Amino acid sequence: MRTFKNVKINCIQGDIANQPDVSAIVNAANAELKTGGGVAGAIHRAAGPQLAEECQPMAPIKPGEAVISAAHNLPNNYVIHCLGPVYGQDKPEEKLLADCYRNALQIAEEHDIDSIAFPAISTGAFGFPMKEAATVAFETIKDEIGQLKSVIEIRFVLFSDSDLRIHQKILKTIA
């Protein structure tokens, strides 16, 4: 756990679709804002079909963009859907990944959200190397912290123990 200017950043191992104590969860979405594999599958399954129905008019979104919806059957207030870059295809990858984190935090602020949980966007089907993605995520969040008024807790939910350890290690090195 690290605290920057009163904002707590935490890493845990778990399922992004089972974080009942945060106001918003972030979806590693596809452009069509539909269900799929990985994070999007877990979130849409837990939220129910109304989530895809609500999102349909907002689709398609572009890499780096974020949109917000209700959480339906999930135990949260909101889902923030980010489209990460496909590694090796959507360029510049690092900027587009940073845009996801910046835009998600900005939308959270606009909705007075106090706590938000992120998965490791782009590191699954989209192929972004885990260490590089974690560095982009934490550097971007640290740079944005001064702008945050409502968000006081940021949680990273990693699927595997090794992904958790990578995130914990990189979070420690952020100056």
Positions in the binding site for ligand ADP (CB under 6 A): 15-17, 28, 37-40, 42, 84, 119-126, 157, 159, 163
63: exposed, middle or buried (Cβ count in 10 Å: 0-12, 13-18, 19+)? buried
Q: Which two tokens stand for residue 152?
A: 């006081």
Q: How far is CA 172 from CA 2, 3, 139, 175, in A?
A: 8, 11, 11, 8
Q: How far is the CB of 49 from ligand ADP (least distance, A)?
A: 18
CB of 38 or CB of 145, closer to ligand ADP: 38
Q: How far is the CB of 46 from ligand ADP (least distance, A)?
A: 9
Q: How far is the CB of 6 from ligand ADP (least distance, A)?
A: 26
- The dihedral region occupied by 117, where left means phi > 0, alpha psi between -120 and 50, and beta the remainder, is beta
CB of 86 or CB of 145, closer to ligand ADP: 86
Q: Alpha-carbon distance 62 to 27, whole Å?
A: 14
Q: How far is the CB of 143 from ligand ADP (least distance, A)?
A: 21
CB of 72 or CB of 149, closer to ligand ADP: 72
